[in-house]
A = this chain, B = another copy of it.
Amino acid sequence: MAWHVFIPDSILEETNDPKIRTYKVGQIARACAIFGVEHIWIYRAGGRDGRFIKTILEYMETPQYLRKRLFPLMPELRYVGVVPPLRTPHHKLRGKPKVGEIREGYAFRKGRKIYADIGLDELAIVEGNVEGRATFRIVSVRPLKVVPAKPEEYWGYRVHLTGKPLAKTLKKADLDLVIATSRRGRDVRYVKIPSLEGDVGFVFGSPRRGVMELLDEEYEFDLVLNTIPNQKTKTVRTEEALLATLAIFNLMRRD
């Protein structure tokens, strides 16, 4: 089972302050990490911030020790220090290597061998043919050797900036269950939710335009739900709706 979240590229349209813009994207990263979201899709909705949102989300998701290798200095990252870290299982601290441990790393060729930076004091020798960012298991400590491996716990999310509007983005994602959130949706308290299996998507609108308004062409959601019945504020921001919605559905998760 994997959770997918869909947000428009216009979520920052009401926010001009660059520090707060960064912080808001950070909140989305945090919400997704808290609840184990594996894919964040940014769909086209007239916003200009798709690249920025993607960069911040990916930076946040990258283990601290790999950030310098993967992100050149760029103005978008100027305020990234204000966002609280994710502290997910794949953001491991430096420490003593242990055989069997799984760590995220960055692999590169050096002479005839491939080495990986896995956030320890020394580089690891890679047994296998992989380059770039990848997940590794430590198979030997002296010398430090790793093999490519599959994560065994929550290992962060991938970010997809499709450049396409919502319906096309959803088609591309090809999910088993798609739940849109909308103030005008059905009250979540009175709807029988199907069991959350396979790839499940949660779709959010922007502060100014709801999901139904942003939908550019025919698309049949499995459910359109109001997850904040009787809200007392006129609007709910995307990052607020995201955290609230994931908190509710987290209680129905059975994996």
In the complex, what residues of B have CB within 8 A of residue A243's CB? 240, 243-244, 247
Taken residue by residue from 199 to 217, chain A's Cβ proximity to chain B (1 for < 8 Å, 0 otherwise) reads as: 0000000000000000000
Q: A30-B240, A240-B31, A244-B247 are in contact. Are A230 and B36 (CB under 8 A)?
A: yes
Interface residues of A in 197-246 (CB under 8 A from B): 227-237, 240, 243-246
Q: In the complex the two chains form, is B229's CB within 8 Å of A35's CB?
A: no
Q: In the complex the two chains form, is B251's CB within 8 Å of A188's CB?
A: yes
Q: In the complex the two chains form, is A228's CB within 8 Å of B34's CB?
A: yes
- Of the candidate stretches A86-94, A97-105, A163-171, the one touching chain B is A86-94
* A70 in contact (CB, < 8 A): no
Interface size range on A against B? 35 or more
Q: In the complex the two chains form, is A227's CB within 8 Å of B248's CB?
A: no
Residue of B20, B230, B236 near A82 (CB, 8 A) is: B20
* A158 in contact (CB, < 8 A): no
Query: A232 CA to B232 CA in the complex, in Å?
Result: 30
A interface list, Cβ under 8 A from B:
14, 17, 19-20, 23, 30-31, 33-36, 82, 84, 86-89, 154, 188-189, 227-237, 240, 243-248, 250-251, 253
In the complex, what residues of B have CB within 8 A of residue A86's CB? 233
Name the distance in Å between A20's Cβ and chain B's nearest Cβ. 5
In the complex, what residues of B have CB within 8 A of residue A228's CB? 34-35, 247, 250
Closest B residue by C-beta to A24: B23
Name the distance in Å between A124's Cβ and chain B's nearest Cβ. 25
Q: In the complex the two chains form, is B227's CB within 8 Å of A247's CB?
A: yes
Question: Can you list the 4 inter-chain pairs with the closest CB atoms, starting with the nearest?
Answer: A244-B247, A87-B234, A154-B232, A36-B232
> Could you write out 7 A-B pairs with CB less than 8 Å apart?
A14-B84, A35-B228, A86-B233, A87-B233, A88-B234, A228-B247, A228-B250
In the complex, what residues of B have CB within 8 A of residue A189's CB? 251
Q: A19-B17, A20-B23 are in contact. Are A229 and B244 (CB under 8 A)?
A: no
Q: A228-B34, A230-B250 are in contact. Are A235 and B19 (CB under 8 A)?
A: no
